[in-house]
Structure 1
Amino acid sequence: MSNWILSLIQVLLATWFSGVPRLEPATLAQWQSDGKPVLLIDVRTKREYEVSHIQGAIRLDQAKEIAQTLHNKPDLSVVVYCSVGARSAVMADKVQRLTGRSVYNLQGGIFRWVEESRPVFNIQGETPFVDGYGWPWKFLLPSDRRASGM
C-alpha cells in the first residue's frame, strides 16, 4: 500500500473533520479482544461489504439509519469505517450532528486494517480480499488483497 498517500489522506481528514474523533485500528482490535461494547458500522456499499468487512460490523449507509440504531444504546462506543476513512468521516460528522454522540472514525478504514494484517470476513468466513472501490483507491491496497476484477 502507498502508506504516504494514505497518511496524507488521514491528515486532510483530521483537518476537515476535526470534530470527529479518530480511532486507531490497533485500539479497535484491542477493544474487540477485551469485549468492550462497540457498535461497528461499515458505511461502504453493499457490494464492498459482501466482499469483506471487519468481523462484527453491520452495514448502514444512511445517517438517519445509524441514528435510529443508536437510539437506546447509550453504553456502546460507535465506530464507523469505509475504505480509507473519507466516507466514514462524513458519516460520523453527520451522525454526531443528528445525535449529539461521539462517533469514532477508524483511521485508514478497512485498507489500513488489512495493511496491519488484521482479518476481514465475508459470508463464507475469513477472506484475504477487499473491494478496492475502483480507481484510484484500489491502488492503496496491496495487489494480492484486491478482490477479483479490481
Structure 2
Amino acid sequence: MKSLKKQRRIQIIIVAFFALVISTALIGYAMRDGINFFYSPTQVTENPPSPTEVFRIGGLVEEGSIQRGEGTEVSFRVTDGINAVPVTYDGILPDLFEENQGMVGQGRYVNGTFEAFEILAKHDEEYIPKEVLDVLKENGTYVEPDGA
C-alpha cells in the first residue's frame, strides 16, 4: 500500500514539474514581442541591431537636426553626446518634443536610420528618461539643472 502512495506522489510531482516548465515556456513565448531593449546612440552605432529587432533608443534631440517633410513626416538626429543616429518618424510628435530635449523612440534600425513608430518626449522642463540620464552620466555629458 505504501509503495502505491509513494508512486502516486512521484507521478504528481512529475506532472507538476512539466506543467511548470510548459507554463514558463508559454509565458516567455507570449512576452517575446513585449520585451524591448533600450540602446543609446553609441551602442547602436558600435553594434547595430538587426533590421527586424524592435528596440528603444534614447538621447537628446540634436540641435538644428529637425527637418519636416510632407504631411506628418519628420526626421532628426538623436545623440548621447558622443554619437548621433538619424531618426525618421511619420506621425504627430508630442507637444513637448524639441531640440536639446530628452526623447525615447521605439522602432527598428534599418540601413543606418532608426525608423520610429513611437516617440516619447519629456513631460516637464527637468525630466529626462532614466535610461537617457544613465547614458549621459556615463558619457560625462550630463549637467545637473539649476536648483537640483
Tell me, yes or no, whether TM beats 0.5. Answer: no
Identify the TM-score tier after normalising by the shorter chain: under 0.3
Question: Which of the two has higher C-alpha Rg?
Answer: 2
TM-score where L is the length of structure 1? 0.27
In terms of fraction of residues, the more strand-rich structure is 2
